[in-house]
Amino acid sequence: MFEKSKKKRKETLCIKVPKVYDWVTRQVDVPLQSFTGMEALKTLNFSCNGHHCVDPCTSLAGMGPLSIECILTDSYGNPIDPLLDGALLCTEIPQKHGRQDVNITLHNGEIITLQKVKVLKKGYFIVKISNASGSIVCTSEPQSFAVAEKFFLCAPEGTFLQCEITDIECDVNLICKEDEEGDPVFQQIDVSINMCQNIQMEGIVKLEITADFCQPRPEVPFSCPPLDFPPQCPEIFPGNDDY
């Protein structure tokens, strides 16, 4: 057991910490991105198993049902975990004359003054199409997405934005149609992205508190166990003249 620490006198401390001035959650839907026709294929610029592919619908024709997925990436097309801090850009959009004061009427009739905060979120995704066996995979070049929103928050001068993406979905739909000869050709790809977010306004403040200083705990006593050797066979080893 640990030895009980002596009672310490509490001291008045001044600490520097971030204070949350306002905090809201919201779902945001990125505007639908539709890639239609051959010009859109040039933008997507598919590569199938490392080779340039003009039309994945044609290249994968007759190979069973196709599967398609949308993957969030960095600007180079490397998959990312979008929930990690900084994986997606989320930043405040500067306003020419700063944050505008806006009077808001609450449900009880009280009028409060908040600030209009504009927030930009940006990122990248790729589209992957594969045949039924997964032996042929067509991958697009990274495509960018962006969405801007406005919030009415308690955001006085000196506060800053903290943005956290808590959930995100990227859905994609592929449409292939038949040409005059009955062969499948690309018609359209639609990509929709939805995310949930925490938006906080914070400011660094100094607080006076009464507390104890933290001290390290005593280390758990530890000693090396004695070495145990396997039992020997003295009847035959290390030596027996009668054997």
Beta strands 160-178 and 67-73, pairing class: unpaired
Provide the pLDDT for residue 134. Answer: 85
Mean pLDDT by 10 residues, the chain (243 residues): 58 91 93 94 93 90 89 96 94 94 91 95 96 90 96 94 95 91 90 95 93 74 69 66 55
| Residue 121: closest CA among 36, 242, 30, 59 | 30
| Residue 171: closest CA among 21, 39, 70 | 70
Provide the pLDDT for residue 4. Answer: 52
Provide the pLDDT for residue 8. Answer: 64
Provide the pLDDT for residue 182. Answer: 76
What does the block give as tokens for 222?
């530890």
Report field, pTM of the whole predicted structure over 0.75: yes
Instruction: Round to whole Å and give the CA distance between 181 and 58.
Output: 12
Name all contacts of 171-175 with Cβ < 8 Å and 24+ positions apart.
Answer: 171/70, 172/68, 172/69, 172/70, 172/127, 173/68, 174/57, 174/66, 174/68, 174/129
- 3-class DSSP state of 172: strand
Provide the pLDDT for residue 6. Answer: 57
Three-state SS for 199-240 is EEEEEEEEEEEEECCCCCCCCCCCCCCCCCCCCCCCCCCCCC
At a CB cut-off of 8 Å and minimum separation 6, what does 187 contact? 36, 37, 57, 175, 176, 177
Which burial class, exposed, middle or buried, applies to 128 when counting CB atoms under 10 A from its CB (0-12, 13-18, 19+)? middle
